[in-house]
């Protein structure tokens, strides 16, 4: 166990759940429904981790409010109801969360998902009872603003120096830095490892097994993935 930390905060998409294909598919379909131009796969992947409004505004600059609302509604319809693209927890993620909970860590989620979406996947995966707090982009500030982390720490009464953020994007690590919190990067998500390492995380791991081992021992894995 890492005695330095009491609270472990996880990003969801790309960190615990392999949902990249579903998210990009839904973004693409929503743009088509709204009559907006197609965006590249790279551009779609780039905004994963932001709040939905922030992500869509980034993809379609100068979009007016009525169109943004239409696009937002189309995305939610596809993601929650219409899109059949599967998404699942990364192998070993559920066992890791259960183990960390049993070891006495306080666990939380800070995600760009909306509350409805997070509650749904927590119910589907059976992991809801293992997390002591969560914050979503539609109820607080979007990453990389520190508000998510600040609210979680305040709710649980845990100081920044006793808190660790785990995520797969620059947005996660920037949020951690903005909140005065240490960060660990996972290199199997949407942002390249070179970008993550530039944010100076404590370490960058290549898979869930390495992450679980690091969180248990505090030792940096010998092999850091070179790309993602």
**Annotated catalytic sites, by residue?**
11, 13
What is the distance between the alpha carbons of residues 168 and 37, in angstroms, rounded to a whole number? 27
Provide the token pair at 61: 């600059």
Contact (Cβ atoms closer than 8 angstroms) between residue 163 and residue 9: yes
Contact (Cβ atoms closer than 8 angstroms) between residue 134 and residue 150: no
16: number of Cβ within 10 Å? 27
DSSP alpha helix (H) spans, 3-86: 20-34, 41-46, 52-59, 65-77
What is the distance between the alpha carbons of residues 48 and 67, in angstroms, rounded to a whole number? 20
């Amino acid at each position: 166990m890492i005695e330095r930390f009491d609270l472990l905060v996880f990003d969801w998409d790309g960190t615990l759940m392999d949902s990249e294909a579903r998210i990009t598919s839904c973004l693409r379909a929503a743009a088509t429904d709204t009559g907006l131009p197609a965006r590249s796969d790279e551009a779609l992947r780039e905004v994963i981790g932001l709040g939905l409004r922030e992500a869509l505004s980034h993809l379609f600059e100068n979009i007016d409010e009525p169109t943004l609302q239409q696009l937002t509604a189309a995305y939610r319809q596809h993601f929650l109801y219409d899109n059949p693209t599967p998404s699942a927890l990364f192998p070993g993620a559920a066992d890791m969360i259960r183990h960390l909970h049993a070891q006495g860590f306080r666990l939380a989620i800070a995600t760009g998902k909306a509350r409805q979406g997070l509650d749904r996947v927590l119910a589907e995966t059976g992991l809801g009872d293992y997390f002591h707090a969560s914050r979503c982009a539609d109820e607080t500030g979007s990453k990389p603003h520190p508000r998510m982390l600040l609210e979680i720490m305040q709710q649980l009464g845990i100081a920044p120096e006793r808190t660790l953020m785990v995520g797969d994007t620059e947005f996660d690590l920037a949020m951690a830095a903005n909140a005065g919190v240490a960060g660990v990067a996972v290199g199997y998500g949407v942002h390249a490892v070179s970008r993550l390492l530039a944010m100076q995380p404590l370490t960058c791991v290549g898979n869930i097994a390495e992450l679980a081992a690091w969180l248990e021992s505090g030792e940096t894995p010998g092999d850091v993935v070179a790309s993602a």
